[in-house]
Structure 1
Amino acid sequence: MSGPFDDIANTVFADKAVLTESYHPETILERDEEIEAYSHALQDVLFGREPENIFVYGKAGLGKTAVTRYIIDELQKETETRPDADDLHIHTINCNGRTLFVILRTLVNDLLPEHASRFPKRGLGTGDAFDELYRQFDRIGGTHLAVFDEIDHLEDADTLLYELPRARSNGHVSNAKLGVIGISNDYTFRRTLSPKVKDTLMETEISFGPYDAKELRTILGHRAESAFVEGACDESAIAKAAALAAQDMGNARQALDLLRVGAELAERNGEMPVTDGHVETAREQVQRGRLENKIRDQTEHGQYILEAIANLQSRGAVPARSKEIQRTYEEVADAHAASPLSTLKSIQDHLSDLHMLGFLRRHGRNEGLSGGQYYEYELDLDPTIVLETRAEITAHTE
């Protein structure tokens, strides 16, 4: 009796993981300027001085996290050879879906000695967590770099970014030196910070722009050498994936997805080599997956608002004003046993952000003296994708 895998004998892939988001390349291509700016901003660490604060901006898939990881690894290795450099400690945490207290508690627990009791989940506040964090920094000493990925998703970023950079000048730490690296998908994130935080940070800003087709082709070509068995991928497939991604978002992650999914289609059909036709066929599947990931990347309430507009759109009730969206949003939040945002202004801020990110179409209306000026909103994507993605997220959290 034959089994379901009996007919599977050949593969186009030598190392499929090379084309995935989780792969960490040893060589960073097409980001020389950003690497130089990063290394210049962190050079004080090599001489035992307090590090600069750094903010890294750019949309998803533009290499921010990969370059940060590469720079940190290289800095760690270099400090071990420098007599003036203090011991370097790196603390990396993703802010998406986490409160300030959870972030501080996680940092404290990472710093505590193995035998010590963990910092409690309940019973203490944010101020207590900051105090314990400072004690642990000073106990360990040396230089500490705190890397906050997706910091634009943290609702109380002001407090974090006001406290940590001032910890030494305020006398909270004396034996340790602290630096903050913030990574944000939102180019406008700094505008949301309070004036006192902006004055405190005095940070270096490094902006990651989209890749062009030539740069993406270089990246894909380098990955393809390891990803495919010899002769399994045409140059035309690499060029097609690079061109399609460059025309859309200039996103390396999208280009890699196009090439990988195209190769999967070719393999499923028993066809070799992978061609530009396979990549073109993979385009719709990749676009849907990318939209789903973008939805998942939004804050909890941002997702509720998207779900509310998708519900309205499914009923033919769009474009809709923010007050109409607010009512449906409150119903969605209640259905998920969440406390809704209390003000219309907070809803409007989320709508503005979602419009800027490309989720929504916004229509300006002017009804003169009788009705005034206002905006109406509708989705700029298939509402089915939003509702199905939200259903999957809810199913995994219950």
Structure 2
Amino acid sequence: MSFDFLGSEQTIFSNPNALDPDFIPKLLPHREEQQNYVASAIKPLFHERNGKNVLVWGAPGIGKTAASKRVLKDLDEVDSDKKINQVFINCWKFNTTYKILCEVSRQFGYPFTQTMRTNEVMEKVAEKVEKFDGVVFVFDEIDKAEDYNFLYFILEEFPRRTIILITNEKDWGVDVDDRIRSRLIPETLEFKPYTPREVFNILAERKKYAFYENTWDSKAFAELAEKAAEYEDIRVGIKLMKVAGEIAENESTAKVVVAHVSEAIARIDEFKIKSSADLTDEDKFILSLCEKHNGQRFGVVYGAYENTGGVKSKKTFRRKLERLQLRKLITLETGGIGLTGRSTIIHHIGLKKRNNIIKEKTEHKALDEF
């Protein structure tokens, strides 16, 4: 059997790259205020002053990374005699001081650090300081870093810099060394979840980038936007648009209709953006303990964690539970008062049950607000 890999030359996609995870549109609706805030933290660098440090926090998929990257792109276009460099690092990928500083060195134009020790890499990075009038450092998923010695190094060696830290955790930094915290002192910028109407507007704007005009049925798009709003994650909506468009193209139709969106939604578990699949091994282990000890008090679950080799403190363990709750994989319920204060009851949800709960809560939701 032979396949027609080329197929029809016609396509409903005007720019399929606009649906890629790394695509940053020129316009980010409903995040203008946050972009201005980040830009204001960088502005002092253009006046030979130290910039501000900002902790950007909020739930996954609500524009934290995209807004920060948009500001960096705009920074590239500033017409100034000041040389303001920028570094963007995802701490999931580069999660130790050594890896992070090697990547900083690479982005500074010196990639040959693989055989160097950490202090040697620091020396190479420090040599670049005088070449810039300022540096903007953005560390995405900062909570995934295994240590924060690189922050101390940057705070000490770079006299004019802005540090942007992006995380899902409001209380990030409680376990950070005092010598770092006292120098960092970041301002806090919260990204609140989008409203259903904002989700609709954002996806409609992205649709303009990615598809030719009049290639979407209005009811189909409204259904897609509603589903994305249920998940409170713009990335889910963007992925649904891509999959629904591909389904329509495979059927050689000129318009995405409700049936295509419904099929894309049926596949949603196949391409979940934030799930247990992207947790660290320890987070997965903790989630499994929550499932095994479902409905038990915090002390019971933490005791099981310690008995099976866990080494994190109670404070860190609780933060990890709060992260799982943020991803809607567990719930933490305040119970009665015990000997050591109010108890916390841990309820396991898991991805499959979570999706069913979302579906039940919104099954009869009207689309009027769109």
State the TM-score bracket (shorter-chain normalisation): 0.7 to 0.9
1:86-106 Cα deviation digits (max 9, x unpaired): x11111111015222321233
Give the AA of the match of 1:12. Answer: I
Please give the TM-score of this superposition, normalised by the length of structure 2. Answer: 0.78
| Residue 27 (str. 1) matches residue 36 (str. 2) | no
From the superposition, tell whether residues 32 and 284 of structure 1 become closer, same or farther in structure 2 (CA, over 3 Å): same
1:65-107: CA deviation from partner (whole Å, max 9, x where unpaired): 22212211222321xx334x3x111111110152223212332
Aligned position for 2:280: 299
Aligned partner letter, 2:275: K
Structure 1 residue 329, shift from structure 2 partner: 9.2
Aligned to 1:103: 100
Q: Which residue of 2 aligns with 1:211?
A: 194
Q: 2:11 and 2:327 mapped to 1: Cα distance?
A: 38
User: What SS is found at the alignment partner of 1:55?
Assistant: strand
Deviations 1:145-175 (A, max 9, x none): 2211110212323x4444433x1xxxx46xx
Say how many residue pairs are matched: 349
1:194/1:375 CA distance change after superposition, 3 Å: farther
Residue matched to 2:360: none
**Contact 2:295-2:345 at 8 Å conserved across structures:** no
- 1:245/1:142 CA distance change after superposition, 3 Å: same
**Please, which of 265, 278, 281 is the counterpart of residue 260 of structure 2?**
278
- Matched to 1:164, the amino acid is I
Unaligned runs of 5+ in 2: 356-370
* Distance in structure 1 (CA, Å) of the matches to 2:132 and 2:40: 24
CA distance in 1, matches of 2:60, 2:346: 28
d(CA) in 2 for partners of 1:141 and 1:13?
Answer: 41
Residue 301 of structure 1 aligns with an amino acid whose one-letter code is E
The residue aligned with 1:152 is 143
Work out whether 1:239 is the aligned partner of 2:222.
Answer: yes
* 1:94 and 2:90 aligned: yes
The equivalent residue for 2:68 is: 68
Partner of 2:330: 360
Letter in 2 for 1:216: V
Gaps of 5+ in 1: 332-339, 386-398
Q: Does 2:311 align with 1:342?
A: yes
Aligned-residue sequence identity (percent) comes to 22
CA deviation after TM superposition for structure 1 residue 364, in Å: 6.0
Q: Secondary structure at the match of 1:186?
A: coil
SS at match of 1:42: helix
Does 2:14 align with 1:4?
no
Structure 2 residue matching 1:375: 3-state secondary structure: strand
Distance 2:31 2:224 in 1: 19
CA contact (8 A) 1:151 1:183 kept: yes
On the 8 A contact 2:104/2:125 being kept in 1, the answer is no
For 1:348-369, what per-residue CA distance to the aligned partner results, in whole angstroms no more than 9, with x for missing partners? 5433432343111346666978
1:140 partnered with 2:131: yes
Deviations 1:262-293 (A, max 9, x none): 233333445442124432442242255226x3
What's 2:170 paired with? 187
CA contact (8 A) 1:341 1:347 kept: no
2:349 to 379, 390, 394: 379
CA distance in 2, matches of 1:8, 1:329: 58
User: Which residue pairs with 1:393 in the alignment?
Assistant: none
Measured after TM superposition, the shift of residue 244 of structure 1 is: 2.4
Contact 1:304 / 1:329 at 8 angstroms: preserved in 2?
Answer: no
Contact kept? 2:56, 2:189, Cα under 8 Å: yes
Query: Partners in 2 of 1:278 and 1:212 — Cα distance?
Result: 25
Deviations 1:280-329 (A, max 9, x none): 442242255226x332432331123234556x4xxxx7445665676589
Partner of 2:80: 82
What SS does structure 2 have at the residue aligned with 1:361?
Answer: strand
Alignment of 1:35-54 (within 5 A): 35-54=35-54
In structure 2, what residue type is equivalent to 1:375? I
Per-residue CA deviations over 1:209-250 (Å, capped at 9, x if unaligned) read 22223322222222223422443211222222222222331x
Residue identity in the other structure for 1:94: N
CA displacement 1:114-137 (0-9 Å, x = unmatched) = 6xx52536xx45xx2674256324
